[in-house]
Amino acid sequence: MTKNPNSISAKDQTYHLHPYTNLKVHEEQGPLVISRGQGVRVFGEDGKEYIEGLSGLWCTSLGFNEPRLVKAAQTQMEKLPFYHSFSSKVPDVTAELAERLVQVTPDGLDRVFFCNSGSEANDTAIKFVWYYNNARGKPEKKKIIAREKAYHGVTVAAGSLTGLAYAQNGFDLPASERILRTGCPHFYRYGQEGESEDEFTTRLANELEQLILSEGPDTVGAMFAEPIQGAGGVIVPPQSYFPKIQAVLKKYDILLVADEVICGFARTGKMFGSEYFGIEPDMMTMAKQLSSGYLPISALAVSDHLYQTIKEQSNALGVFGHGLTYGGHPVPCAVALEVLKIYEERDILGQVNAVSPYFQERLQSYRDHPLVGEVRGVGLIGAIELSADKATKTPFDPGLAKAAGLMKKCEENGLILRAMPGDCVAFCPPLISEQPDLEELFNRFDKALAAIG
């Protein structure tokens, strides 16, 4: 049967260069075309319905047809479709959003810089680390620590922080010797035989300290860390991990940047993952659920002590020479401001905490499945790691693409999840999900899992 050359699928295969895709296989098999959304569901061009179990890409917290966000964008487009924040100018809504973000982020973060993506926000945070240390007369204090299995984006700088091979292979990343790598707090995979979780986190903190000492504390400027490592496999650290890590960083005057791109805005049952784990960041990056994924926007919140130093340096140099044309764009800002209003008015935090016990209970029910090695999660985010041998934690041969095969079965059963390295399957349903939505999500997953078992 000859494919219609005017179909969306044919146009996509012919003209579109896809992100995070095997391009050769894509040309042969074609895309899943999504045409519309309704609540926690999306629909293919053939009308088939899917539960979106990953909120798009960890982002569509309020579902796929929230009318208030459509109206907010339309109203702002009619009022002021674009303006910038260069040279002491600002759209009114941008200043309002900055104020609101300072109000909802953890204490101590007092200024907000706007970007367009999580990658850009993390790139900006790197530049702030360098600018800040130049300003205080520490020009050698520039190295950045990131963790194994970290995901901080794909631009040259943020992609260098990312600790996943698939985001670096073929791109000559990491691109800087300033990027250092430390251990991943995944106890299931990296805990040693006979080691308790507390002993494990002590070892990681000691390894971090030894890395800093070997490099020279006066050369290390910051460490980046996601509260939960999302794209690395929804890795939930032991509760004792961050207190020990922070103590090491404070000892050597090293900034902590919390990457809240996935965890931020109620995903963990707290407004930010930093609150859940007791993290006290010097900077925090945000994106995704800031606009419920409706428009591109990200933000970097910084502490007052950083801002004051940066401010004086900008005065000495004549200008703070960093900015993005669309950073603080009024239309995404208007949508983000409306998102924050909805979070508050509808008590989305309460909603997450009401349904997450059921969500986590259903996730944990797979622990005894013969194909499942580990189940992990917090709030409305979680993952199942498949294993060829439960007793030895032996992974499947990567060539079997076990998790990818499971995802295909999920799609056949009307469920969209995400397969990640290490044969992990990620779950991240919209924050508006009710228990019946979650019941149906897991019922469909049961069918898919049975099909590969």
Domain ranges of the chain: 32-65+347-452, 69-345
Residues 187 and 236: their CA atoms lie apart, in Å, by 9
CA distances from 241 to 50, 279, 413 (A): 37, 10, 38
* Preceding peptide of 174 cis, ω within 30°: yes
Residues 139 and 159: their CA atoms lie apart, in Å, by 23
| pLDDT at res. 226 | 98
pLDDT tens for residues 310-323? 999 999 999 999 99
pLDDT tens for residues 350-406? 999 999 999 999 999 999 999 999 999 999 999 999 999 999 999 999 889 999 999
pLDDT tens for residues 16-59? 999 999 999 999 999 999 999 999 999 999 999 999 999 999 99
Tokens read off for 301 = 């919140």
Residues 332 and 337: their CA atoms lie apart, in Å, by 9
pLDDT tens for residues 214-270? 999 999 999 999 999 999 999 999 999 999 999 999 999 999 999 999 999 999 999
Tokens read off for 277 = 């784990």
| pLDDT at res. 347 | 98
Query: In the structure, what pLDDT confidence band is assigned to residue 1 with cuts at 50, 70 and 90?
Result: very low
Tokens read off for 347 = 């008590």
| pLDDT at res. 113 | 98
pLDDT tens for residues 138-177? 999 999 999 999 999 999 999 999 999 999 999 999 999 9
Tokens read off for 422 = 């290490």
Question: Is residue 339's pLDDT more than 80?
Answer: yes
| pLDDT at res. 453 | 77
Q: Compute how many other C-beta atoms are within 10 angstroms of the C-beta atom of residue 25.
A: 9
Which residues are registered as beta bridge partners of 384?
A: 375, 425
Q: Which of 157, 156, 164 is nearest to 142 (CA)?
A: 157
| 426, 385 contact by CB (below 8 A) | no
| 146, 208 contact by CB (below 8 A) | no
Q: Which of 302, 305, 270 is nearest to 286 (CA)?
A: 302
pLDDT tens for residues 168-185? 999 999 999 999 999 999
| pLDDT at res. 70 | 98
- Any residues with CB less than 8 A from the CB of 399 and at least 6 apart, and which? none
What three-state secondary structure class fits 72? helix
Tokens read off for 31 = 């895309």
Query: In the structure, what pLDDT confidence band is assigned to residue 103 with cuts at 50, 70 and 90?
Result: very high
- Any residues with CB less than 8 A from the CB of 64 and at least 6 apart, and which? 36, 37, 38, 39, 40, 41, 42, 52
Q: Where are the alpha helices (DSSP H) in 55-91?
A: 55-58, 67-79
Chain centroid, CA 242 distance in Å: 18
pTM for the full predicted model: 0.97
What three-state secondary structure class fits 365? coil
Average pLDDT, the chain: 97
Question: Is residue 7's pLDDT more than 70?
Answer: yes
Question: Is residue 131's pLDDT more than 60?
Answer: yes
Residues 28 and 56: their CA atoms lie apart, in Å, by 24
CA distances from 171 to 139, 162, 230 (A): 28, 12, 22
Question: Is residue 429's pLDDT more than 70?
Answer: yes
Query: In the structure, what pLDDT confidence band is assigned to residue 2 with cuts at 50, 70 and 90?
Result: low
Question: Is residue 3's pLDDT more than 80?
Answer: no
Question: Is residue 4's pLDDT more than 90?
Answer: no
Task: Report domain 69-345's class.
Answer: alpha beta
Residues 113 and 178: their CA atoms lie apart, in Å, by 24
Residues 123 and 340: their CA atoms lie apart, in Å, by 25
| 110, HSE (Cβ side, Cα atoms, 13 Å) | 7
What CATH superfamily classification does 32-65+347-452 receive?
Answer: Aspartate Aminotransferase, domain 1 (3.90.1150.10)
| pLDDT at res. 270 | 98
Give the mean model confidence (pLDDT) for residues 418-423: 93
Measure CA of the first residue to CA of the last residue in the chain; give whole Å.
33
Phi (first) and psi of residue 37, to 5 degrees: -135, 155
